[in-house]
Structure 1
Amino acid sequence: MSCAAIGVGGGLVAGGAGYLAAAFAAFGPLLYGLTIGSHFLPSVVALALLKRPGTGILTGLIAGLVGAAFAPWWFWRYVGTGLLVGVLLELPFLVTRYRRWDPWMFYLAGVFSGAILGIAVFVAQGAEHYAWWAWIISLACWVGSPPLFIWIGRVIARALERAGVARSVTRA
């Protein structure tokens, strides 16, 4: 239930960010990466709050489904991004067998994910047509956006934890 609630909230944010991303893609493609961080938000909140395997993936999927309700023609883009971000965020925790939940692990996953996604999208946009400085601007947006939203997500998770939202979840 917690993953569903977080996913719905994150999906509302992702739905709005999808239209902003479309505007950036049309009018300022170098800044398109600024919106990718919004897709990290629900998975980060779920992982930081619940500290359970699979919560990032499940919450990302739910957020993608809710986001797709605002733009059904981008259904697979929302769902695919939600799942991909959930998987990429869970990788460092999977490596530690979900025994460590250090904050730097969230940020490492975010920077790595942003770099991978940024390079892939920039190449798909026709990177050979851009100058070197355009690469720098684009990658800075892609790499900088996820850590910002990870920080916001961790702040939200701490506030929810203080409010007692995850009190019934037993931790190892």
Structure 2
Amino acid sequence: MSRVSTAYLLTCAALGVAGGLLLAPANWVSTALFATVPFASVAIAGLWILPAVIALRLLQRPMAGLLTGVIAGLVIAPFSGYGFYSVLTNAWWSFFPEALFLVVLWRFWTLWQHYAGAVAVGVVYPIAAAASFDLWSMSPVAIVGFFALTIASCVAATALGILIADRLRHAGVAASVRRRRPTTGG
């Protein structure tokens, strides 16, 4: 992308604000679940990738997912108990949907890349958060269930994000900002 247009930035901002409005209550629900039933808190983990998936699918532009995720983090920072860490958390979650497009330098925009990003974060998150959940002290069946629940949550959120972005695209949202070249595989 040779230049960043105002329309691109405003579209990412609008998606980020909408994502932040979704994630603000989800953040409190996740915190409550973690305190009471930690295992169940990963059932909603996929919500954190939703804004990035929507932005990437809708705009098909470099860094749309990360920018949208950071904006969503800025929106929820004052309302979460974590402050600026919310921005870092959202940037972390948004990296994974973006990563599979980054690997090919944003030349290809296929459906499988979205789902591969979801599976990647669904595998990496339990490993990264293993100490918080005391994951390695669980039974092997519980560990597999934990990974499966996290992956399922991320894949479901990705499917929802693709559906929302496709509906927005069909409605003509961000038509002037969207990538012009044809996509491959969906």
- TM-score, normalised via structure 2 length: 0.86
Q: Of 77, 80, 95, which aligns to 2:88?
A: 80
Q: Distance in 2 between matches of 1:44 and 1:128?
A: 30
Q: Distance in 2 between matches of 1:131 and 1:167?
A: 50
Q: Of 57, 62, 65, which aligns to 1:48?
A: 57
Post-superposition offset of 1:12: 0.9
1:135 aligns with 2:136: no
Q: Of 162, 165, 171, which aligns to 1:163?
A: 171
Q: Distance in 2 between matches of 1:97 and 1:127?
A: 35
User: What CA RMSD, in Å, does the superposition of the two structures yield over aligned residues?
Assistant: 1.4
Post-superposition offset of 1:62: 0.4
Matched residue of 1:167: which SS? coil
Give the structure 1 partner of residue 78 of structure 2. 69
1:101 aligns with 2:115: no
Looking at secondary structure, tell me which structure has more helix per residue.
Answer: 1
Q: What's the CA shift string for 1:106-132, capped at 9, x where partnerless?
A: 010111111101122123322243222
Q: What's the CA shift string for 1:113-169, capped at 9, x where partnerless?
A: 111011221233222432222212211121111110111111110111111112112
Identity of aligned residues (%): 36
* 1:46 partner letter: A
Name stretches of at least 5 consecutive residues in structure 2 with no aligned partner. Answer: 1-9, 182-186
Contact kept, 8 Å, 2:49 with 2:154, in 1: the verdict is yes
Name stretches of at least 5 consecutive residues in structure 1 with no aligned partner. Answer: none
Q: Distance in 1 between matches of 2:93 and 2:156?
A: 15
1:117 aligns with 2:161: no
Deviates more, 1:161-170 or 1:4-13: 161-170
Q: Distance in 2 between matches of 1:76 and 1:118?
A: 22
Contact kept, 8 Å, 1:52 with 1:98, in 2: the verdict is yes
Aligned structure 1 segments of 4 or more residues deviating by more than 6 angstroms = none
Q: Distance in 1 between matches of 2:71 and 2:51?
A: 9
Matched residue of 1:74: which SS? coil
Q: Distance in 1 between matches of 2:149 and 2:83?
A: 24
Q: How many residues align?
A: 171
Give the structure 1 partner of residue 184 of structure 2. none
Q: Distance in 2 between matches of 1:81 and 1:112?
A: 16
128 and 98 in structure 1: CA distance in 2 versus 1, 3 angstrom threshold = closer
Q: Of 65, 76, 90, which aligns to 2:98?
A: 90
